[in-house]
Amino acid sequence: MSRPRITTALLLKVSIFLFALLVIITEVFPLAFRSSKSKEIDEATKLVCGKILLTRQKAIASRTSYRIHYDYPTGQCVTYRELIPGRWIAELDEDESIPEGVAISPTSTPPNGYIEITPDGAIDNHGVPLVIRLEDGKGTQKSIRISPAGMVQEIPTW
């Protein structure tokens, strides 16, 4: 009785197959089983960044000042438009709040939760960048830095 011969070509094919399988497993496996640890904080970060950028675009397009108010305890967000100097009216857009389990830290700037955007898209904060700090219940932290010119940058940790 003869044993089947294992040829070099067969060994090469098996090796290539196993290598490809290993690459796929190492790339796909972590994505498929990634903990939802940072999912909520990522969603909150995108929501806050998007809100700031959209409101900045509205301010530039309409040549009107806007305010965004984040209520730290509840996570609610309201956008205001300036009708006349000193008179603000709330915009009637969808009710947006930060996802459950994520909070804006009261150590964020500005301390009152108001971000004022001028008609040219700049952030009215006396030339100082704003930092909005987000934290979830699992200790994951992210920050959003807003430059005086209105540019938004996500920072992974505080």
CATH of the domain at 82: 3.55.40.10
Angle at 52 between CA 48 and CA 58, to 5 degrees: 145
CB 58 within 8 A of CB 68: no
**Burial of 112 (C-beta count, 10 Å sphere; 0-12/13-18/19+):** exposed
DSSP letter at 38 equals: G
Q: Is residue 9 in a domain?
A: no
pLDDT at 118: 95
pLDDT at 58: 94
Query: Residue 147 sits in which domain range?
Result: 37-155
Q: Is residue 15 in a domain?
A: no
- Give residue 74's pLDDT band: very low, low, confident or very high (50, 70, 90): confident
pLDDT (tens digit per residue) in 38-50: 688 899 899 889 9
Q: Is residue 62 in a domain?
A: yes
41 C-beta neighbours (distance < 10 Å), count? 22
In the chain, how many domains are there? 1
Q: Is residue 3 in a domain?
A: no
pLDDT at 130: 92
User: Is residue 32's pLDDT more than 60?
Assistant: no
Q: Is residue 51 in a domain?
A: yes
Q: Is residue 50 in a domain?
A: yes
**Which residues have C-beta within 8 Å of that of residue 144, sequence separation ≥ 6?**
45, 48, 49, 52, 131, 132, 134, 152, 153, 154, 155
Q: Which of 139, 151, 120, 105 is nearest to 37 (CA)?
A: 139
Q: Is residue 25 in a domain?
A: no
Mean pLDDT of 17-23: 87
Q: Is residue 147 in a domain?
A: yes
